[in-house]
Amino acid sequence: MAISGTVQKTETVPIVSSSDVVLVRQRVRIWTTEMKFSLVEQTKIVTAASELGRNTLEHGGGGSLELALVVNGARQGLRLRFSDKGPGIVDIALAMKDGYTTGSGLGLGLGGSKRLMNEFEIDTKPGDGTTITTIRWK
């Protein structure tokens, strides 16, 4: 699956500390409000962003979030692209399973985030980092 759309606007948020994960949630909330997502949709997107931002920090050693307003035909959406230069994900299928964790969490981050969004793509290479791109369409 190729996540596509024409980018109309972007913003990058660095993720290097736990306070940056809070900033990720705040910026995503602002974008979802400006794009007029419903409150339920806003909550889903912010929840996914929070999980993915935390993963970027804890498992990837930090990185960044690129928010983008994308348009594909008559629809618009919010694309979130989390990137890090960490160790990568060795087994994506295992990492996506509910209950799997390499830390102290519940193991719902990747799979749960995928279910909250409309499109979800992982590009990872062991030893060379991970990029997770996801979109929620209006």
**Is residue 2 domain-resident?**
no
pLDDT per residue as tens digits for the range 71-122:
999 999 999 999 999 999 887 777 777 665 555 444 457 888 999 999 999 9
- pTM of the shown model: 0.90
Residue with tokens 């008559």: 74
**Is residue 11 domain-resident?**
yes
CATH of the domain at 21: 3.30.565.10
- In sequence order, what DSSP letters do the residues of 42-93 get, joined into one string? HHHHHHHHHHHHHHHHHTTSSEEEEEEEEEETTEEEEEEEEEE-SS--S-HH
Q: Indicate the pLDDT class of residue 29, thresholds 50, 70 and 90.
A: very high
**Is residue 116 domain-resident?**
yes
**Is residue 23 domain-resident?**
yes
Q: Indicate the pLDDT class of residue 42, thresholds 50, 70 and 90.
A: very high
The pLDDT, as a whole number, for residue 106 is 43
Q: Could you tell me the residue range of the domain that residue 40 belongs to?
A: 7-137
Report the domain count for the chain: 1
The pLDDT, as a whole number, for residue 81 is 98
CA angle 82, 86, 89 (to 5 degrees): 80
